[in-house]
Amino acid sequence: MEKQSHKTRRAKRLYTLKDKNLNDVQIDLNNYRVICNKTHKRKSFYHKYLHNLIERKYNGNIDLFREGYVSREAAPSQNERRVKQLQARISRLYVQISNLKGELAEVESGTVCFPAAE
């Protein structure tokens, strides 16, 4: 007696997305496996979550998603992102301070005269 193997029937969930030429493309996201561009690991998502992710972050462009997807595992941690934000803020504030010091020096030297307010 041979065992009969049967094919599994997975439901298809076709979604319409855009390709790099902005043409409509029908893709079954129910069986779609994503590859992270940094870790090169394959990952699967629930089809509705994946569709919303592509629509929200990649403007519905499947090719842009394939080229730019980075999993949470490979993404920078929250602390690393916060450090970068704080460093950028400090840099902006240093520029603002130097501009204010320049204005103060101009006012103290009297080279810039502001018209009197009436």
Q: Which pLDDT score is estimated for 113? A: 57
Instruction: Collect all residues with Cβ–Cβ distance below 8 Å to 118 and sequence separation of at least 6.
Output: none
State the CB neighbour count (10 A cutoff) for residue 47: 19
Structure tokens at 75: 């993404």
Tens digit of pLDDT per residue, the chain (118 long)?
A: 556 665 666 677 788 888 888 888 888 888 888 888 888 888 888 888 888 988 899 888 888 888 888 887 767 778 888 999 999 999 999 999 999 999 998 888 876 555 555 5
Helix, strand, or coil (residue 3): coil
Return the domain boundaries, the chain. Answer: 14-68, 76-110
pTM (two decimals): 0.54
Q: Is the dihedral of CA 13, 30, 51, 38 positive or negative?
A: negative
Measure the CA–CA gap between 15 and 31, rounded to whole angstroms.
12
Q: Which pLDDT score is estimated for 98? A: 93
Q: Which pLDDT score is estimated for 68? A: 84
